[in-house]
Amino acid sequence: MADGRPFEEILRLSSQKADLVFLGLATPTSAEAFGQYYEKLQIQSSPLPSTIFVMASEDLAFAEVLQKE
């Protein structure tokens, strides 16, 4: 799918006709890195339609989030 294309290009092309984009956020590696991470997010999302940023985690137990006890 990527064919060597950068993430930003794939994101822009696959989202160009969307009304709303959900974009998962990673945890910045440090407090100092937060500013750079935020700036990068702003640049990546500027050509996109309305975008909602959501916390994402590789270690998230989706069953616990999506199922009622």
pLDDT confidence of residue 60: 65
Q: What is this structure's pTM?
A: 0.64
33-50 confidence digits (pLDDT tens):
888 888 888 888 999 999
Counting the structural domains of the chain, the total is 1
> SS3 of 55, please?
strand
- Per-residue pLDDT at 26 exceeds 70: yes
Is 2 within the bounds of a domain? no
Calpha distance 44→39 (Å, rounded):
9
DSSP notation for 16-54: TT-S-EEEEEPPPSSHHHHHHHHHHHHHHHTTSSSEEEE
| Tokens encoding 3 | 């064919």
Higher pLDDT among residues 58 and 55, named by residue: 55
* Cβ atoms 53, 40 nearer than 8 A: no
Q: Which residues pair with 52 in a beta bridge?
A: 22
